[in-house]
Amino acid sequence: MKVLFTGGGTAGHIFPIIAIIRQMKKNYPYGGFDFFYIGPRDKFAKELLQKEDVTIKTIFAGKLRRYFSLKNIIDFFKLPIGIIQAFYHIFVISPDVIFSKGGYGSIPTAISGRILMVPIFLHESDIVPGLSNKIVGKFAMEIFISFSIEETEYFPSEKKLCVGNPILDEILKGSKKEAKKEFGLRGNKPVVLIIGGSQGARKINNTILANLPRILENFEIIHQTGKNNFEQVKKEAKVILSDSLLECYHPVSFLAEQSLANAYAVANLVVSRAGAGSIFEISAVAKPSILIPLASSAQNHQVRNAYAYAKRGATLVIEEPNFKPNFILERMKYLFDRPDKMKLMSKRAEEFSRPNAARIIADYLVTYLSQ
């Protein structure tokens, strides 16, 4: 059975695809699956997918922007080229089903799949779908959603199936003991994990650095800076921190699966952006959190995600205009001064979590393919 995946190429699209593939391999070892991926050229996605024995085909994909940009002219021509490329690959592969994780990179594949009459299943991570998923959703057979049916906008109710956002099982298997070794934790202060997404977040980095000495007087920090920002953040930290405080600061460029799992396991609090992937990981490991939604996210979806999660009592939300050096420190101290509130937030996070989303989608696809 041939299963074709497509998506935009970011970690938010690729990790859920990998989670589903692993569940299909694990639960149906004799399924005889061949996995394929069609999407825009992306080194990060290629490295991850090749490890899962996925055959990768790259295409052009034009981003659909709702604002004026000269890039729109170039991307206008990329889209039809991408559709032709995807049409050829799908015709040759002849997949039994297409699973789209969304993003602009999925549109050529979804359109070509529709023309070739291949069944399409879609997953939407956020409460507010982007333009690409609104388009693909019109001809998808089923639409898996992360948040509740009532909260998730736009799609017809009869197509929506609430399953959560697929996460890697490995994220749930972290070790506090291994984390202390890996990050060199001193262990005499509460641990705060700060994550800005797979590429980091410059706004988060700069705000944390602006008050880092005072933060480290109270907390030990594991800080994912992003690969592009790592060296600069490390240099600035060495300049502003004494040797004793530097021992409490643990910057990393990127947290791979096991490292991320260990960091989650040892963290007492997580500070993160509000992408659906991050929210569902944080909830699955039942950690209290502070979310800083990306103000420039499409359709303001991170803000909507964050407040939907906060409504459950699992997190505090700080919008970017309020994300100031002193304010984030005060919010962190506020939570740690209230252990009962932290415990309740952890409980609410666990209640919200849907750690079996990848398995449910895998089972659904296999059941469909077996008919």
Output the DSSP codes for 103-134. Answer: SGGGHHHHHHHHHTT--EEEEE-SSS--HHHH
Residue 198 scores a pLDDT above 60? no
Tens-place pLDDT, residues 226-244: 988 899 999 999 999 999 9
Tens-place pLDDT, residues 112-153: 999 999 999 999 999 999 888 999 999 999 999 999 999 998
Beta strands in the chain (DSSP E): 2-6, 34-40, 55-59, 97-100, 120-124, 142-145, 160-162, 191-195, 220-224, 249-252, 269-272, 289-291, 315-317
CA–CA gap between residue 86 and residue 106 (Å, rounded)? 10
pLDDT of residue 69: 61
Tens-place pLDDT, residues 37-56: 999 988 888 999 999 999 99
Going from the C-alpha of 163 to that of each of 90, 148, 150, 292, 305, the distances in angstroms are 28, 9, 13, 24, 16
State which residues form the domain around 87: 2-167+355-370
> Does the pTM exceed 0.85?
yes
pLDDT of residue 73: 64
Question: How many domains, the chain?
Answer: 2
On whether both 155 and 68 belong to a single domain, the answer is yes
Tens-place pLDDT, residues 306-329: 999 999 999 999 999 999 999 999
DSSP state of 159: G
On whether both 255 and 159 belong to a single domain, the answer is no
On whether both 219 and 175 belong to a single domain, the answer is yes
On whether both 337 and 192 belong to a single domain, the answer is yes
On average, the pLDDT of the chain sits at: 93
Give strand pairing partners of 56. Answer: 37
On whether both 195 and 327 belong to a single domain, the answer is yes
DSSP state of 217: H
Residue 199 scores a pLDDT above 60? no
Give the CATH number for residue 126. 3.40.50.2000
Q: Which helix (H) or strand (E) holds 236?
A: helix 230-240
**Confidence at 270, pLDDT banded by 50, 70, 90:** very high
On whether both 261 and 332 belong to a single domain, the answer is yes
Contact 146, 276 (CB under 8 A): yes
